[in-house]
């Protein structure tokens, strides 16, 4: 039985490390796990990622940024996510639709309604079952990025009020939809955090499985 999990959070929350650790735990428990990321996850998506994130000298206007992120997502859904879900895998995706609503919506100020409509066009009904929010104050996240030795990407270099709007959007989205969002403090030790995140995912998987089984019995 499939499960689609997206990981979200401000820059520097440590999502990619967490996804690796959580994926190890879930596959050790015997499940088929697919790790992927956005923008990226497909050959086309990785090329779009370079265009979007390289801090080159080209300016990308907010609407073009939203369209490029979403175009990469449409390809990703069709080529990777939908097939993995159809074969019953647990998909762990580093960022998904909520990143567009947070960064291009709250961050850049594009209208949420128009972005949501654009997402529906690209996703064709594929939405995460759970969103794991790895929460960290945005200035601490950016400090971590500075300290990591990894070069800052084009979006990391945006100003601190941009990153604060992104973080506030995430916190509010999680409050508005507690059935889908689960919030973790990203400052915890990575191994302990991964234990709890993996347990949350597996619990949800077992619950969905039990409910589907119950429906089948009732039929």
Stretch that binds ligand TMP, among 100-108, 112-120, 133-141, 209-217 (CB under 6 A): 100-108
Q: Does 6 bind ligand TMP (CB under 6 A)?
A: no
The helix (H) or strand (E) run that includes residue 7 is strand 3-8
Q: Does 38 bind ligand TMP (CB under 6 A)?
A: yes
Stretch that binds ligand TMP, among 55-63, 95-103, 196-204, 209-217 (CB under 6 A): 95-103
Q: Does 69 bind ligand TMP (CB under 6 A)?
A: yes
Q: Does 99 bind ligand TMP (CB under 6 A)?
A: yes
3-state DSSP assignment of residue 40: coil
> How far is residue 158 CA from its own chain's centroid?
20
The helix (H) or strand (E) run that includes residue 16 is helix 15-28
| 105: its two tokens | 């919506």
Q: What's the rounded Cα separation, in Å, for the pair 57 and 60?
A: 10
Stretch that binds ligand TMP, among 26-34, 78-86, 99-107, 203-211 (CB under 6 A): 99-107
Judged by CB under 6 A, the residue of 29, 44, 155, 183 near ligand TMP is 155
Q: 44 to 63, contacts with ligand TMP by CB under 6 A?
A: 53
Evaluate the CA torsion angle 96, 97, 99, 103 in order and state its sign: positive
The helix (H) or strand (E) run that includes residue 3 is strand 3-8
| 194: its two tokens | 């991964």
Q: Does 14 bind ligand TMP (CB under 6 A)?
A: no
> Which parts of this chain interact with ligand TMP (CB under 6 A)?
11, 38-39, 53, 69, 94-95, 99-100, 103-104, 153, 155
């Amino acid at each position: 039985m499939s499960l689609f999990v997206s990981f979200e959070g401000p820059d520097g929350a440590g999502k990619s490390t967490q996804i690796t650790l959580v994926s190890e735990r879930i596959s050790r428990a015997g499940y088929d796990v697919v790790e992927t990321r956005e923008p990226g996850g497909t050959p086309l998506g990785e090329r779009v990622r370079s265009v979007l994130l390289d801090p080159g000298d080209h300016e990308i206007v907010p609407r073009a940024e939203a369209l490029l992120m979403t175009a990469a997502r449409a390809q990703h859904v069709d080529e990777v996510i939908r097939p993995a879900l159809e074969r019953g895998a647990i998909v762990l995706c580093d960022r998904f639709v909520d990143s567009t609503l947070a960064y291009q919506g709250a961050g850049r100020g594009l209208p949420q309604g128009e972005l949501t409509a654009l997402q529906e066009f690209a996703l064709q009904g594929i939405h995460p079952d759970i969103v794991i929010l790895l929460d960290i104050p945005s200035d601490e996240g950016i400090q971590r990025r500075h300290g990591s030795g990894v070069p800052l990407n084009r979006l990391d270099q945006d100003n601190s009020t941009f990153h604060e709007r992104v973080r506030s959007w995430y916190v509010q989205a999680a409050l508005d939809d507690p059935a889908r969002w689960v919030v973790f403090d990203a400052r915890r030790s990575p191994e302990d955090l991964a234990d709890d995140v993996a347990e949350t995912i597996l619990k949800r998987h077992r619950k969905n499985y039990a409910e589907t089984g119950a429906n089948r019995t009732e039929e």
